[in-house]
A and B are shown apart, each in its own frame.
Chain A
Amino acid sequence: MTGPVLSVRDLRVRIGRQEIVHGISFDVAPEQTLGIVGESGSGKSMTALAATGLLDIPGAVASGSSALGAVDDSHPTELIGASRRALRNVHGGRIGFVFQDPGTSLNPLLTVERQITESLEAHRDMTRRQARQRAVELAEAVGLPDPATRLGSYPHQLSGGQRQRVMIAIALACDPELLIADEPTTALDVTTQAQIVDLVGDLRRDFGTAVVWISHDLGLIGQVADDVAVLAAGELVEQAPVLEVFDSPRHPYTRQLLAARPLIGGGDPRPAPADAPVLLSVDGLDVRFDVTSPAGATTTVHAVKGVSFEVRRGSTLGLVGESGSGKSTVAGALTGLVAPDAGSAALGGVDMLMVRGAAEKALRRRVSLVLQDPFSALDPRARIGAAIGEPLQVHRLCKGKRARADRVAELLDVVGLPADFASRYPHELSGGQRQRVNIARALAVEPELVILDEATASLDVSVQARVLELLADLQRELGLTYLFISHDLAVIEQMSHQVLVMRSGSAVEYRPAAELFAAPEHPYTRALLAAVPAAQPRSS
């Protein structure tokens, strides 16, 4: 086979009267990985779905051409406009798919084995016994521990990384010519991501499969791709070998993407005021949850295990860890959302955990919380002005509607939004604008401590860069103290003066940021740092 595995020409997708993808062309060479990179809304998933005939959105129409390479002298298979029957033979058989969320891509009611053998029996006419044999081989190939017994498990019994391995096994079951991986590691922790990247690289070599890897993360694309296609607003702005894209990006948008991504060693925060008083001190914080399974069995999750730290006024403590490490639970305990089992926390000498009544209300005014998802943190039925005005109203900080409206306009100005946004609804704003609104709301009460729980994690890199800059400016101007929670080490390094690394509820390393990044002591910190995609592509 010498021609391209997939050849896409002038691909367009329109939904209703609006064109979402504007005439994209690219080739995927055999045994090569094409990385498609772009920010949210750039049309990268839409492009991949349309090119493989998997576009199933009401009212969406694809046009152009997408030809799946010829096998044994036959003609290439045109996928756009192909019949459902023809596509059924292609999907799973000649093209395998891996999607973002391994939690929802698997059928919760079927065993892993059944899900792997399904396509084998459908496309390869294998018997149960042959399919099972092949499933064991595949499970071994994707590095599922103890494959023979693991195959009998249900998806909920596996971890996120294991589920994604199963998805890859399903995708590769019929030895496809092409593997489409749409943000396959975005829902995974950074150490798990590194394992999946290695796995796909190995499999591509062993199985000779071409890969289309879609991601918003240019650093990750640098580790996996041979060629890179950069998409912006439904247009292909740049397509080149990976080294060229990193070393001499031609399009300004690519340069902007490269400049905006946070990198380890990319910068430190402005120095914190020396010998400032301690604002927040947490001692031996301990949180347990009772989790009741649908079957009725109750187990206790020890989410936070005796964590202690201090934050000085005007500085930032970075709280870093993977999912399930208990970092959000710490934020919940400090804001009264979660009841701790032991330990103490004091804000400028005032107890934070046991306060009730008027004292509690006074305390809530001194601490603000900004959450990860700018979409769900705003009431969809409340105007922006009402959202920012809520804390003002609750704490009676402004006399009358007029004064409140003025203060809301002032706060919007502080976060760099025009005053007329007050009359808009959240759905009329972009993700970055919404997160600015969340920050404005957090600042409304002039808090002493702002807890930022993954506040930039769901934003595009260019938006994230601007929001981080805003946060740093606000800290300098208003003397704010931050508890900055993130899974992203580069962002933590950029923002924090002190860093606390958490792993399954315990603090494993707690040191000044500069020291920690220069010479990580704990093996887990070192593993985290090693798993971050490097600044330069793998092949260089």
Chain B
Amino acid sequence: MTDMPSGDNLRVSSWRLLLANPLTLASGVVLIAVAIAAGTARWIAPSGINDVDVPNALQPPSGAHWFGTDELGRDILSRVLVAMQASLQVSVVSVAFAVVVGVTVGVVAGYRGGWADIVFMRVVDVMFAFPVLLLALAIVAILGPGMTTTMLAIGIVFTPIFARVARASTLSVRTEPYVAVSRTMGTGHGFILSRHVLPNIAGPLIVQTSLSLAFAILSEAALSFLGLGIQPPHPSLGRMIFDSQGFVTLAWWMAVFPGAAIVVIVLAFNLLGDGLRDVLDPKQRTLAEARRNR
């Protein structure tokens, strides 16, 4: 009678809890919309990205050009859509790289301990000592600018973050009694890592992934602004803002629309990350459930 399960009626599924938060729901919807728009940019863009039309240069937003035109008369809406695609592509690929490499390094270091831990983590410490953009700049400077290099640079810069998060979570999971029991049963390390460690460290990593996607967008924009990221004639949000500098007083729309695209995507990833943290972090979760029950 009193021997009741702890997962009682107060417990709700993570999905329902996640969707019950209006901010998370809204940012999820925005991200899906952005992804669709970016994915289909080539077809839905009203005009070509490099359709120069000098007589119509620096037109303010209008029915023909919703976001206006730039100094060469190119349609800014079309360029923003295509640039968003490039931004998302860069951030997703570079974060995926960072997750795969960083989590592998972190889990091995945390689980094995000993010299592997010391060597890997000192390398990570060294990488952390550089400001993110400076390190990315150095990598781009060595390998030469371009989209692939940008992905690689951002991926390398973000790897230590994932290594640290994965290592810290692995360290706490490694000492859990259920891992000890598995070891006493003769279970191998591969089985323990894939069945017990990875599922239990996934929560913080998912949150970190969402937040890192936001930072990757910002980093890509910054590199492109400096002329080291995506190269013209392919449009990029950072480059578009750079190009607008000379026209800020003449054509505000040239800077505002690419800037707004960055803000919307970054904000949505950040809010999604916060929402995920509320649900996936057990301490925050109690608060999220209480808010819902109130």
Contact = CB atoms under 8 A, between A and B. Distances in A.
B187 to A, nearest CB: 5
B177 A336 contact: no
B2 A394 contact: no
B2 A232 contact: yes
Given A373-B177, A376-B177, A430 B3 contact: yes
A427 B185 contact: no
Given A58-B286, A59-B290, A369-B181, A394 B5 contact: no
Interface stretch (A15-23, A76-84, A307-315, A522-530): A15-23
Contacts of B286: 58
B123 interface: no
Interface stretch (A159-167, A270-278, A380-388, A479-487): A380-388
A371 B185 CA distance: 13
Contacts of A17: 293
Interface residue tally of chain B, by bracket? 20 to 34
Contacts, number: 118
Contact of A394 (B10, B186, B196, B294): B186
A488 interface: no
B2 A59 contact: no
Contacts of B8: 18
B3 A427 contact: no
Interface string A358-402: 001101110111010101111111100010001101110000000
A382 B186 contact: no
Interface residue tally of chain A, by bracket? 35 or more
**By CB atoms of chain B within 10 A, which of A381, A428, A462 has the most?**
A381
Interface in B162-196: 176-178, 180-188, 191, 195-196
Contacts of B4: 41, 430
Nearest to A331: B184
A233 B1 contact: yes
B183 A386 contact: no
Interface string A383-425: 0001000110111000000000000000000000000000001
Given A15-B10, A337-B184, A361-B186, A379 B195 contact: yes
Given A377-B177, A382-B195, A16 B10 contact: yes
B132 to A, nearest CB: 31
A18 B181 contact: no
Contacts of A460: 2-3
B112 interface: no
Given A381-B199, A390-B187, A395-B186, A428 B181 contact: no
Given A369-B180, A377-B181, 14 more contacts: A40-B2, A42-B2, A58-B291, A232-B1, A335-B184, A361-B186, A368-B184, A376-B176, A379-B200, A381-B199, A382-B199, A394-B187, A432-B3, A462-B2
Interface of B: 1-11, 176-178, 180-188, 191, 195-196, 199-200, 286-287, 290-291, 293-294
